[in-house]
Amino acid sequence: MSSLPPLVSIGLPVYNGEKYLKQSIDSLLAQTYKNIELIICDNASTDRTREICLEYAESDPRVRYHRNLTNIGGANNHNLTFKMAKGKYFRWASYDDTCAPDLIEKCVNILETNPSVVVCYSNVVSIDENGNQLEVNSRNNGSSNKTFERFAAIASSRDFCEETYGVIRADIFGKTQLQQNYTGSDRTLMCELSLYGKFHEIQEPLFFKRFHPGNVYQDWRTRMAWFDPNIGGKVVFPFWIQFMDYFRTIKRVPISTYEKFRCYLFMGKWLFFINGLKMVKDLIYASYMLMHSPKWRQKKYADTNNWS
């Protein structure tokens, strides 16, 4: 048997991330937990991202760099990093965030000693574009022993779904549909993982989530262009898509009939009391978009989709 600690794969999808990329990579390679691989998937960047990544790949054998010939969409690029992973555990990283040196080590320790935990993450420190601390947040949405309570807590949360950047059991992650091509699909993915087991939050501020003009939503619907660069000015219904995806997720995951029933029951609350107005807005916004020409809609998307 190998005496090496379990391999942790870190997937870093990036598009035009030259401004913060080095800070992110440096914090990952400086982890006290050394048995890692860093998989960088460059989504056909047009800035210095390629040059930066190649420098790290040439100097550190733990770094694997892949560049897409064309932009395949943000979610597809995220999923590609996992498909290339070899580790027992997996974590997504962002080009504009950083981590404390002992984040991976502490997460792995929890996962190795708690078989019921499928995702481990820490308190989240929000920072601004210059790295100044804004606030420290505790999420702890998926800690219940009851499956449907975990599902409901994550689905109804109003946070930024930072659990997405937790350390995840790769064998469980591989059973999911990964991230789908619609706004908010990261939350649906976390809900799916919650059906397989508990989430654990380390009560220490070890993850630093950066907020800057390049990652602030301007429009929930034109944000769909990040998922599909070819979406142009198409009319989209992200909340309706997510609603249906929740049902497919509950049906697919092998949980008891009782747990499925409780999850389906919660979706009634999700529809009528949590996101009903947003689903109505989907329809109103779609009608508004259809009143304009395809050229106008394309410009609308271009003006409001600022996500890098």
Domain holding 82: CATH number? 3.90.550.10
Same domain, 198 and 267: no
Same domain, 63 and 207: yes
Rounded-to-integer distance, Cα 259 and Cα 253, Å = 11
Confidence of residue 304 (pLDDT cuts 50, 70, 90): low
Confidence of residue 1 (pLDDT cuts 50, 70, 90): very low
One-letter-per-residue 3-state SS of the chain: CCCCCCCEEEEEEECCCCCCHHHHHHHHHCCCCCCEEEEEEECCCCCCHHHHHHHHHHHCCCEEEEECCCCCCHHHHHHHHHHCCCCCEEEECCCCCEECCCHHHHHHHHHHHCCCEEEEEEEEEEECCCCCEEEEECCCCCCCCCHHHHHHHHHHCCCCCHHHHCEEEHHHHCCCCCCCCCCCHHHHHHHHHHCCCEEEEEEEEEEEEECCHHHCCCCCCCCHHHHCCCCCCCCCCHHHHHHHHHHHHHHHCCCCHHHHHHHHHHHHHHHHHHCHHHHHHHHHHHHHHHCCCHHHHHHHHHHHCCCC
**Residue range 93-145, pLDDT digits in tens:** 999 999 999 999 999 999 999 999 999 999 999 999 999 999 999 988 999 99
**Residue range 18-28, pLDDT digits in tens:** 999 999 999 99
Confidence of residue 306 (pLDDT cuts 50, 70, 90): low
Task: Indicate the average pLDDT of the chain.
Answer: 93
User: How much is the pLDDT for 307?
Assistant: 56
User: How much is the pLDDT for 3?
Assistant: 65
Tell me the two tokens of residue 15.
Answer: 């598009």
Mean pLDDT of 280-293: 92
Indicate the residue among 165, 191, 215 that finishes a domain: 215
Whether 251 has a pLDDT exceeding 50, the answer reads: yes
User: How much is the pLDDT for 140?
Assistant: 87
User: Does some domain include residue 3?
Assistant: no
Same domain, 117 and 239: no
Whether 295 has a pLDDT exceeding 50, the answer reads: yes
User: Does some domain include residue 206?
Assistant: yes
**How many Cα neighbours within 13 Å face the side chain of 260?**
11
User: Does some domain include residue 2?
Assistant: no
Mean pLDDT of 266-275: 94
**Residue range 143-183, pLDDT digits in tens:** 999 999 999 999 999 888 999 999 999 999 999 999 999 99
Same domain, 135 and 249: no
**Residue range 188-212, pLDDT digits in tens:** 999 999 999 999 999 999 999 999 9
Whether 2 has a pLDDT exceeding 60, the answer reads: no
Q: Pick the residue with more confidence: 121 or 1?
A: 121
What is the count of structural domains for the chain?
2
User: How much is the pLDDT for 37?
Assistant: 98
Rounded-to-integer distance, Cα 74 and Cα 66, Å = 15
Same domain, 94 and 195: yes
Whether 44 has a pLDDT exceeding 50, the answer reads: yes
Same domain, 35 and 80: yes
Rounded-to-integer distance, Cα 84 and Cα 87, Å = 10
Residue 105's contacts (CB-CB under 8 Å, 6 or more residues apart) are: 31, 32, 33
What residues make up the domain containing 114? 8-215
Task: Report percent pLDDT > 70 for the chain.
Answer: 96
User: Does some domain include residue 140?
Assistant: yes
Task: Report percent pLDDT > 90 for the chain.
Answer: 82
**Are 220 and 242 contacting, i.e. CB atoms less than 8 angstroms apart?**
no
Tell me the two tokens of residue 261.
Answer: 């029933």
**Are 119 and 142 contacting, i.e. CB atoms less than 8 angstroms apart?**
yes
